[in-house]
Structure 1
Amino acid sequence: MKLSVTRRDFLAMSSKGVGAVVVSCGLMGCVFDDDDEKSVNADFLHGVASGDPTHDAIILWTRATPENSQDNEVKVSWEVATDENFDSVVTDGQMVATVDQDFIVKVDAVGLEAGTIYYYRFKTANKVSVVGQGRTLPEGAVSAAKFAVMSCANYPAGYFNVYELAAQQDDLDAVIHLGDYIYEYARGEYASEKAVEYDRQVLPEGELFTLADYRTRYGQYRTDTSLQKLHSAVAFITVWDDHEVANDTWRDGAENHNDDEGDFDTRKQAALQAYFEWLPIRPWTEGNHEEIYRSFAFGDLVDLHMLDTRVLARDKQLEYATYTDPATGAFDSQQFMADVTNTERTMLGQEQLLWLQSSLLQSTAKWQVLGQQVLMGSMLLPAAIATLQMSIPEFARLGGLAQLAARAQAGDPSLTAEELAYLQQNQAELTDEVLALLQLPAIPYNLDAWDGYAYEREVIFASAKSMGHNLVVIAGDTHNAWASDLTDAAGDTVGVEFATSSVTSPGLEYYLGLPDEQIPATEAALVDLVTNLKYTNINDRGLLLLTFTQDEVKSEWMYVDTIASKTFTENSSRSHSVTSAAGNPAIN
């Protein structure tokens, strides 16, 4: 069982002066060997990045693109300093970036001080990169920590203004990216209607299957100036979701993969290798591109546990069609409940679940935060809505009409003349079929989320509950913002969940085809319909700011007014914030 993210027994070591640096040939490249033939001209077209900070180390990243496409190796040097002018260099080194590793340079810079901002840069024979900065994790007593949480950036859907907005925040300890950093689709597919207008058609043109395909797509994303700016400004802590491989990925397949497209595992391994190449992330062991779960300790304040709910061990998603008789439409609810609560059904897998339980049981930090992809809170919607037989506004209107009819039938004297007139005008809509739909029970609207893996969710809740932890779950994936109380099967509140909107990927307003004027009423109806749901935004693209103190966690959603133009403003009229106090596992 993995015990610490600082385990680095796989690294090759080198040191220079007082400041020791650990460089992994397994991360990227190899140690510089004074061969002048490798001193070729190369540029840093994809910017710089830092990530996976520990108390004494941080991963540094760049890509050195040779000016001559025939060059196969590039000398790259790097420096880390405590000041932007690099007057106080604390560690430096040299490496060779090779064509086999896509000219990626990743350095594990160690021997650093806790809770300190460091500046870094890279050099080739003729170029110096922009200066990046990143902060190591603090130790001991910590009064506050602030994070930007984001996910779901589909390049052709619009401009990355949400990354630009995040880069404007100057007090972040880290960016937590919860996946869908890239999308695998071909040109003209998902959310690409205006890609030509935006000059954001994807590369390569086709769907991603090979290592070269995934590398090319990452390379295109990383030319985006807003994403480059954010990467250079703050360290990232990341985890993948499904689109880094293919839509609705599970352990042995994906919705967006069929047998005609080749072996799924080969595709998955290529995708995960490219992810580890292009993201500033530290592998557990050399060449291990599958295990991504790990923890980050922000002193005595926050323990952040990043989970893989997608690729490593997830069982295939359940589908309502499996339990519906095609001839009669009858739904086998007994078999469905047996399957969804099956104790053998897994999202995390046994090893990862045991690691998480152990981490929760041993931790003494004020806040336990689970950074993961999909909604953990129960999102039960009336079956008529979940099965798309009624829209949310339609269900709310007809449900209200049915309530008026029931009150009238009972002889309710409080009915107003206006209500009676409305009922008389519209009662014909309450057909037997409509009334039957209104009476159907609430069911999970998304079986790809934790609602489709109920047993394992209860195990996590029980672990947090047994220790009296202040549990905070953060999620992405849905492209919408959510805030919910988390309750276990006994009805006890065990924590809170905050979900971020997307960078560009469209949300429920896209799928439901809702006009702008129906958005507020639909959001209000959702909060009313879904037990424990406290807030939602189903229309705007944005990010989530989380600020932890010893007393409370504050969740603030920030949105941009457009992704259709690089010129944007913050849509402050749609911003929202909620808090949860330490010792009180509910949203205030």
Structure 2
Amino acid sequence: MKTGLSRRDFLAMSAKGVGAVVVSYGLMGCNSDDKEIYSGQFLQGIASGDPAKNAVILWTRVTPDVEADITVSWEVALDANFSQMVTNGVMKTNAKRDYTVKIDAVGLEAGKGYFYRFKSGKYVSDVGMTKTLPEGTVDSVKLAVMSCANYPAGYFNVYALAAERNDLDAVIHLGDYLYEYGRGGYASEGAAALGREVLPAGELLLLNDYRTRYAQYRGDISLQKLHAKVAFITVWDDHEVANDTWREGAENHNDNEGDFDLRKQAALQAYFEWLPIRPWSEGNHQEIYRSFNYGDLVDLHMLDTRLLGRDKQLDYANYMDPATKAFNSATFSSDATDVNRTMLGQSQLLWLQQTLLESTAKWQVLGQQVLMGKMLLPAAIATQQMSIPQFAQLATLAQLAARAQAGDPTLSAQELAYLQANQSQLTPAVLALLQLPSIPYNLDAWDGYAYEREVILATAKSMQHNLVVIAGDTHNAWANELTDNQGEVVGVEFATSSVSSPGLEYYLGLSDAEIPATEVAIVNLINDLKYANLKDRGYLLLTFSAEEANSEWFYVNTIKDESFTTLVERSASAKVNIQQPKIIFG
């Protein structure tokens, strides 16, 4: 009877469990038949990721002393001095893989912490820490969630803040690990003064462009510290390729920039080279949806809402009459809820449904990129024909006018005077805008792909799952209750702010003084929204127990200076009790 996996069996396994990288089978020597062994330095640090019950991906990159095949050895131990060695090995890397090293260190024990390091000639890497997935009964799981790190926008103080923790089971990175823009692009106004102008100088289009940008990001000390401290579980979003990417194109890909599919292939090859992610199979750079099981407590399902199956985003401009500026809400609603419109694609959606039907952990967590909650704003705001303060002022004025017309005797003299002084603003065009229904503010999110969202919620509801969705992408922090088309709360969503990319305060031009009132106004305008932070950079901490899921948002006071503090006064916390999908603050 066959009792173990051969190398061929291992590499042939589907990647939702284990994939094809260099594999460790135990302690082995580091001898080489080569006449000469070349070496290199570890200037981009080390990392681990995609933990399994008996394995973890280990990553590094060497900067070679000479352009040649570089021999790299690696070690895994139970102690930082490597006196209790568990497994080791040796591999070669070269320019074909951009001198990156990825090891699938197997044969480890479930729920145990390990130390690891790499060696190349006289060079020795820093020592990293990692942890395998637990099995059986698990009391607690703690995950840091982050996304959207734009190098020229500021320092990665959020990574440094998270690296101060010693209690994390993993970091969940929900994408936009890097940005593709060239110098002078998005959020680059202070890059030169900060010494953070991007490399290469131009927009990323070719494989070497993406590789160079990854090398620059991975040279950041704050990011290196966090990678060395804890395993990462990652998915990509759009900027790993280009802004607002979908299956066959992107907003930030122009006709003069070559074939989009070739650009995407280059970007994804670099992603798999530079991130500690386990591929499904050798050379498969397309499919990254997969699950991680934290014993009986948490099943984490990582999704690709961006590249594999997404249809092109809807555009409000296609529903606006260019002459009258009238919005065709009926046609828009029909298109947004089309049953053939897909975010995940059929194969991934079927996999997720089947996985949710079979999952038995107390908490089912969807790790994915974009907001799933219904973020519906009055159409006048969503189509940018009115600002939030302007809409609030005019809506109040319209309410006073309606009360006056109805002969409301409770109107005060002050209200009547205000109405008389401002009633001229209530033109027929303004009144028409105020009467439009609420529509999604962001068509790049699940609001633009409503049918598949309903399928997911219905599947979770049918199994009475305790559903928690985590999201990034928007650069702001949010908390939503997830309601289905019957208005029933099926789960909750917690969204992280960004590492450095600016949020709505940047797009709306809000001053610090305007932020609190605007946050309150948005929460009041959106039915399912329970929390919003529109200004601060930070990360989300999720702690799961058998009784509740706790969400805490931590922010830094600045990203424009390497010296920073925790912005305690803006921190927030919320929880969800088991079998009660309602968000409770405080």
TM bucket (normalised to shorter chain) is over 0.9
The match for 1:56 is 54
Quick one: which amino acid aligns to residue 35 of structure 1? D
Among 560, 564, 567, the alignment partner of 1:568 is 564
The alpha carbon displacement at 1:32 in A equals: 6.9
The match for 1:6 is 17
- Rounded to whole Å, the distance in 2 between the matches of 1:200 and 1:540 is 20
- Rounded to whole Å, the distance in 1 between the matches of 2:196 and 2:392 is 39
- Rounded to whole Å, the distance in 2 between the matches of 1:192 and 1:481 is 22
**1:126–1:296: structure 2 CA closer, same or farther, 3 Å change rule?**
same
Among 255, 260, 263, the alignment partner of 2:259 is 263
The alpha carbon displacement at 1:429 in A equals: 2.8
The match for 1:549 is 545
Structure 1 gaps, min length 5: 22-30
The match for 2:91 is 95
Among 211, 222, 226, the alignment partner of 2:222 is 226
The alpha carbon displacement at 1:272 in A equals: 0.2
The match for 2:148 is 152
Among 433, 452, 469, the alignment partner of 1:437 is 433
Runs of 4+ in 1 over 6 A off after TM superposition: none
The match for 1:296 is 292
- Rounded to whole Å, the distance in 1 between the matches of 2:21 and 2:238 is 29
Task: Please list the CA deviations of residues 541-586 of structure 1 after superposition, one character each: whole Å capped at 9, or x if unmatched.
Answer: 1110111111111111111111110011111111111111110122
The alpha carbon displacement at 1:36 in A equals: 4.4
Task: Please list the CA deviations of residues 258-277 of structure 1 after superposition, one character each: whole Å capped at 9, or x if unmatched.
Answer: 22110000000000000000
Task: Please list the CA deviations of residues 446-492 of structure 1 after superposition, one character each: whole Å capped at 9, or x if unmatched.
Answer: 11111111111111011000000000000000001110100011111
Q: Tell me if the contact between 2:14 and 2:281 (Cα under 8 Å) persists in the aligned partners.
A: no
Q: Could you say what secondary structure the match of 1:191 adopts?
A: coil
Structure 1 position 326 matched with structure 2 position 286: no
The alpha carbon displacement at 1:342 in A equals: 1.3
Structure 1 position 15 matched with structure 2 position 25: yes
Structure 1 position 403 matched with structure 2 position 406: no
How many equivalent residue pairs? 572
- Rounded to whole Å, the distance in 2 between the matches of 1:216 and 1:6 is 30
**Identity over aligned pairs, percent:** 68
Within a 5 Å distance, the mapping from 1:349-364 to structure 2 comes to 349-364=345-360
Quick one: which amino acid aligns to residue 423 of structure 1? L
- Rounded to whole Å, the distance in 2 between the matches of 1:182 and 1:301 is 32
- Rounded to whole Å, the distance in 2 between the matches of 1:288 and 1:476 is 25
Task: Please list the CA deviations of residues 7-44 of structure 1 after superposition, one character each: whole Å capped at 9, or x if unmatched.
Answer: 34x56656344xx99xxxxxxxxx9744241233x110
The match for 1:388 is 384
- Rounded to whole Å, the distance in 2 between the matches of 1:585 and 1:201 is 44
Q: Tell me if the contact between 1:5 and 1:296 (Cα under 8 Å) persists in the aligned partners.
A: no
Among 533, 539, 547, the alignment partner of 1:537 is 533
Within a 5 Å distance, the mapping from 1:63-462 to structure 2 comes to 63-68=61-66, 71-462=67-458
- Rounded to whole Å, the distance in 2 between the matches of 1:402 and 1:95 is 72
**1:278–1:4: structure 2 CA closer, same or farther, 3 Å change rule?**
closer
Q: Tell me if the contact between 2:268 and 2:286 (Cα under 8 Å) persists in the aligned partners.
A: yes
Structure 1 position 46 matched with structure 2 position 44: yes
Quick one: which amino acid aligns to residue 325 of structure 2? G
- Rounded to whole Å, the distance in 1 between the matches of 2:246 and 2:563 is 38
**Cα-Cα RMSD:** 1.6
The alpha carbon displacement at 1:180 in A equals: 0.2
The alpha carbon displacement at 1:432 in A equals: 2.8
Task: Please list the CA deviations of residues 218-273 of structure 1 after superposition, one character each: whole Å capped at 9, or x if unmatched.
Answer: 00000000000000000000000000000000001000012211000000000000
The match for 1:24 is none
- Rounded to whole Å, the distance in 2 between the matches of 1:63 and 1:3 is 26
The alpha carbon displacement at 1:372 in A equals: 0.4
Structure 2 gaps, min length 5: 1-12
The alpha carbon displacement at 1:334 in A equals: 2.8
Q: Tell me if the contact between 1:32 and 1:96 (Cα under 8 Å) persists in the aligned partners.
A: no
Q: Could you say what secondary structure the match of 1:62 adopts?
A: strand
Q: TM-score, normalised by structure 2?
A: 0.95
Q: TM-score, normalised by structure 1?
A: 0.95
**1:32–1:337: structure 2 CA closer, same or farther, 3 Å change rule?**
farther
The alpha carbon displacement at 1:4 in A equals: 6.8
Quick one: which amino acid aligns to residue 326 of structure 2? A
Quick one: which amino acid aligns to residue 41 of structure 2? D
Q: Could you say what secondary structure the match of 1:344 adopts?
A: coil
**1:548–1:36: structure 2 CA closer, same or farther, 3 Å change rule?**
farther
- Rounded to whole Å, the distance in 2 between the matches of 1:277 and 1:251 is 21
Task: Please list the CA deviations of residues 173-193 of structure 1 after superposition, one character each: whole Å capped at 9, or x if unmatched.
Answer: 000000000000010011100
Q: Tell me if the contact between 1:473 and 1:497 (Cα under 8 Å) persists in the aligned partners.
A: yes
- Rounded to whole Å, the distance in 1 between the matches of 2:32 and 2:260 is 39
Q: Tell me if the contact between 2:371 and 2:471 (Cα under 8 Å) persists in the aligned partners.
A: yes
- Rounded to whole Å, the distance in 1 between the matches of 2:24 and 2:570 is 51
Structure 1 position 488 matched with structure 2 position 484: yes
- Rounded to whole Å, the distance in 2 between the matches of 1:302 and 1:37 is 49
The alpha carbon displacement at 1:403 in A equals: 1.9
**1:424–1:329: structure 2 CA closer, same or farther, 3 Å change rule?**
closer
The alpha carbon displacement at 1:326 in A equals: 2.1
Q: Could you say what secondary structure the match of 1:458 adopts?
A: helix
Q: Could you say what secondary structure the match of 1:381 adopts?
A: strand
